[in-house]
Amino acid sequence: MAFNTYIDHTLLKANATVDDIKKLCAEAKEHHFYAVCVNSYYVALAESELMHTDVNIAAVIGFPLGATITKVKVYEAQQCIDEGANEIDMVLNIGLLKSGYYKIVEEEIKAIKKAIGKHVLKVIFENCYLTDEEKKIACQLSLNAGADFIKTSTGFGTGGATIEDIQLMKNEVKNAIQIKASGGIRDAETAKQYIDLGVSRIGTSSGITIVTSK
């Protein structure tokens, strides 16, 4: 299996340096990963490092808590696209979802999708904080808002992707929207399990381990 075409090669740690981002991009080029995933500040740097390659750039916004003001999320998303991002991974407002403010959550997703147009929008749920019912609601809100992907986790919560969550999300959306599994995926066996369940993308900082293991 060609794992590299599924992988968003990810570095989102607070202590990531400029040299670390350059190394991430070099690794993505070497292994032909689908994309790198970086914090918004580093989009311009990644764009300069990945110029004239087929590696995409995914930028996280409202990261990692999702509680940023909607206008700020929209502006951040627009800036990332302007600086070279192909995809936006937004954290939905977890607290508002859990409060039952579903219309506000949906409208925020819709506003960000409108702002980035044809570019890919992934909505991060942070499933470790949600009940199964809330996960299903988040799936429907994302569908209604026109998102392109739903995504399990930031990797900064109390838990990452699980088989059970991917099955729940897939059962809820069928093939109407793509799914990205992220958080705690560190080996090829686990990556294959998720891909076999129907995910289109794997978010991981262990991409090299995954593609080079036998």
Residues taking part in catalysis:
89, 151, 180
Query: Identity (one letter) of the amino acid at 119?
Result: H
Of 64, 44, 50, the residue nearest 203 (C-alpha): 64
Calculate the CA 173 to chain-centre distance.
Answer: 17
Q: How far apart are CA 126 and CA 135, in angstroms?
A: 9
Q: At what angle do helices 163-173 and 132-145 cross, to 10 degrees?
A: 50
Q: Are 123 and 109 in contact (CB under 8 A)?
A: yes
Q: Are 202 and 9 in contact (CB under 8 A)?
A: no
